[in-house]
Amino acid sequence: MSVVVLGTGMHPWGKWGRPFVEYGVAAARAALDDAGVAWTDVDFLVGADTIRNGYPGFVAGATYAQALGWSGARIASCYAACASGAQAVDIARTRILAGLCEVALVVGADSTPKGFFTPVGGDRPDDPDWLRFRLLGATNPAYFGLYARRRMAVHGSTHADFAAVKVKNARAGSLNPMARYRRPVTVEEVLASPMVADPLRLMDICATSDGGAAVVLASEEYARRRGTTPLVRLAAVATVTPSFPSAVLELPNFATDSWAAVPPPERPFRAAIAHAAYEEAGVGPEDVSLAEVYDLSTALELDWMEDAGLCPPGEADKLLRGGETAIGGRVPVNPSGGLASFGEAVPAQAIAQLCELTTQLRDRAGPRQVRRPRVGLAVNQGLFGHGSALIATR
């Protein structure tokens, strides 16, 4: 048995100032319409939680089920920071594979405050996320800047390389009606934007956004009975954790494990995420037609390309400069426009990545369509060791 993506839906990203439920319901209805499925035909709904929108955000499955109209469907809610969407997809997929349902709806949406993310309210001196703000004043962009500075030192990346990532993604985003930022930019504009966390400038760092995404998943047998074509199969979902000792600093921690007595694992955490998905799907990085990667910053897109095995360490800049990661290149990266064009709407992000893979594999992406796609990869990461990788195939 395999699981297919029967329908996708999104609410445009932006700063709309409306309750997150509106975005999620709009995305869910769009996904149901795309799948040709009535809400009352859904056996199971999974809501990816948001932690900045009160109690309804903590029980997102029930919140969306009520907003769509109580139907008696079974539900689940889950939170894994930026990996919440992948966790939600995995829960629905597993239930289908277990034969416990045929049709599942997965929804994630967020309404975010202005500016960078701050810790959830309250005093929690045993919480690393609270501590890094209170002891170090380390916002997310501070970590992004550290990663970027490391890349410059180890691999020789330049400010111009980082700016070129933004230029590529802004061009793709300009072609995507769901993106928040739809204006192409130049290298000069990126390099002239204000410095935020050296070496990263304002245009190097993704914004925080409102938005929603949803997918309808179904068993392949159900899809075939309905005559659905083409079939986009969800071939893998990897939600792996780091292996001890984790020798690379990961947000929100401010120390690594010691590897004085035990050597670091063969693959660091981010590389292990994609590797686990490849193993499950029975494909390799050489088979990938397109990739949606976690570009919280321009520099991180380059890191993720290497972690996903799309090129050897230190070679991502070369692929970028050669146009191989642009739409029309050998392996387009973030043809949706990425977080550079969308911004973060945390519980929706991994679901939106799957929406893009599905749209591309169906050949429905319009002017940003990738040539003859067969395998799509999405990689992401949530705080505290939540891995997130999805592989969709046609």
How many other CB atoms are there within 10 angstroms of residue 194's CB atom?
7
List of E strands, 43-177: 44-48, 74-78, 103-110
Interhelix angle 60-68/20-35, nearest 10 degrees: 70
Residue-level pLDDT at 120: 81
Cβ 336 vs Cβ 344: under 8 Å: no
Look over the chain and give the mean of its residue pLDDT values, rounded to a whole number. Answer: 96
Q: Which carries the bigger pLDDT value, residue 123 or residue 376?
A: 376
Domain with CATH 3.40.47.10 in the chain: 3-115+210-233, 128-204+235-393
H or E segment and range at residue 91: helix 84-97
Residue-level pLDDT at 162: 98
The CATH H-level superfamily of 128-204+235-393 is Thiolase/Chalcone synthase (3.40.47.10)
Quote the CA–CA distance of 265 and 245 in Å, as a whole number.
7
Per-residue pLDDT band at 289 (split at 50, 70, 90): very high
- The residues near 318 (Cβ < 8 Å, ≥ 6 apart) are 311
Q: What is the CATH number of domain 3-115+210-233?
A: 3.40.47.10
310-350 pLDDT, tens digit each: 999 999 999 999 999 999 999 999 999 999 999 999 999 99
Largest Cα span, the chain: 58
* pTM exceeds cut of 0.85: yes
pLDDT > 90 fraction of the chain, expressed in percent and rounded: 89
Phi, psi at 9, each rounded to 5°: -155, 150
Cβ 281 vs Cβ 235: under 8 Å: yes
CA dihedral over 79, 80, 82, 86, signed as positive or negative: negative
Phi, psi at 61, each rounded to 5°: -60, -50
Per-residue pLDDT band at 115 (split at 50, 70, 90): confident
Dihedral angle over CA of 59, 61, 67, 71, nearest 10: -130
